[in-house]
A and B are shown apart, each in its own frame.
Chain A
Amino acid sequence: NAGVTQTPKFQVLKTGQSMTLQCAQDMNHEYMSWYRQDPGMGLRLIHYSVGAGITDQGEVPNGYNVSRSTTEDFPLRLLSAAPSQTSVYFCASSYGFHQPQHFGDGTRLSIL
């Protein structure tokens, strides 16, 4: 099993550009989420989904969009990249809210 796969692993963008971070899981998990990790800040929840067609905002949703058309995929869209969005982004999935999360290896994003 691949688990949670994130692409790309690295990306450099210019301010104002848009892009989509991809996340796919092959464990048939209903619950998926996106976090960003910044030095000294720990992990902060951006958006999450409890199943196909259902998404909700986390702690830091501004500037990001998500959709969940299938159980497997949960892409994160940056609408207009800003330097403050320079971070490492992690996607995670699990069977449910209170269950162990399975993480991808992250996307390292730099906004110039």
Chain B
Amino acid sequence: SQQGEEDPQALSIQEGENATMNCSYKTSINNLQWYRQNSGRGLVHLILIRSNEREKHSGRLRVTLDTSKKSSSLLITASRAADTASYFCATDGQSGYSTLTFGKGTMLLVSP
């Protein structure tokens, strides 16, 4: 059962442009996380935003969370070719033994 769903499925931009990916989810969460996956590699954690936070920054990454709309966005500013990867959001529920549920991901292609 997929909790988070990313949008768009694929995104193609030029170097220097900003990339925005969205994630929608269905049930209440403790936190929402974003991960990056380079081709042929495992997922790498990028940023975690808690349910009581609205915005968080990490370097060129900006994540927003709107719990009333059950949605989050990941903005990558001044993108580079090295940002080419798939990006996933992951959510968890509020019970103590819930597990992370990943969306299907957004494939980002940044062309030089």
Contact = CB atoms under 8 A, between A and B. Distances in A.
Interface of A: 4, 33, 35, 40-43, 45, 48, 50, 56, 58-59, 90, 92, 97-98, 100-106
B99 A103 contact: no
B41 interface: yes
A69 to B, nearest CB: 21
A68 to B, nearest CB: 15
Interface of B: 1-2, 30-31, 33, 35, 40-45, 48, 88, 90, 92, 96-105
A102 B102 contact: no
B43 A40 contact: no
Contacts of A101: 33, 35, 43, 45, 90, 100
Contacts of B42: 4, 90, 92, 103-106
